[in-house]
Structure 1
Amino acid sequence: MRTPTHSLRLDAVLVQAVIAGALSFAHLHDLAAAAGQDGWKAWAYPISVDLLLVAVWRRLRTDGPSRLAWCWFLIALVASLGANIATAGLLDLSDVPAWLRILVAGWPALAFLGGTLLAHTPADHAPAPQASATPDPDPAPEVEREPEPVSEPDPTPAAVPAPEETPALPVADPALVSPPAVPVPAALVDHARKVAADHQERTGARIDTDTLRARLGVPPHLADAIAAQLA
Structure 2
Amino acid sequence: MVPLSEQRLRMRDRFLDQAVRELWKYDDRVRGLGIDVRFDRGVAHLTGEVDDAGRLDTARSVIGRLDGVLAVWDQVRVAGRDPVVLDLGCGAQKQYPANLGVDLHLTSEVDVRADVSAPLPFADGSADRVFLVHILEHLIDFLPLVDEVHRVLRPDGIAFVLSPWWRYVNAVADPTHVRLLDVQTIKGICRRAGSRRLWNPLHVGCDGAGVFAELRPLTDPADFPGEAELARFFD
TM-score scaled by structure 2? Answer: 0.20
Which structure is larger by alpha-carbon Rg, 1 or 2?
1
- Higher helix residue share: 1
Question: TM-score if structure 1 supplies the norm length?
Answer: 0.20
Which structure has greater strand proportion?
Answer: 2
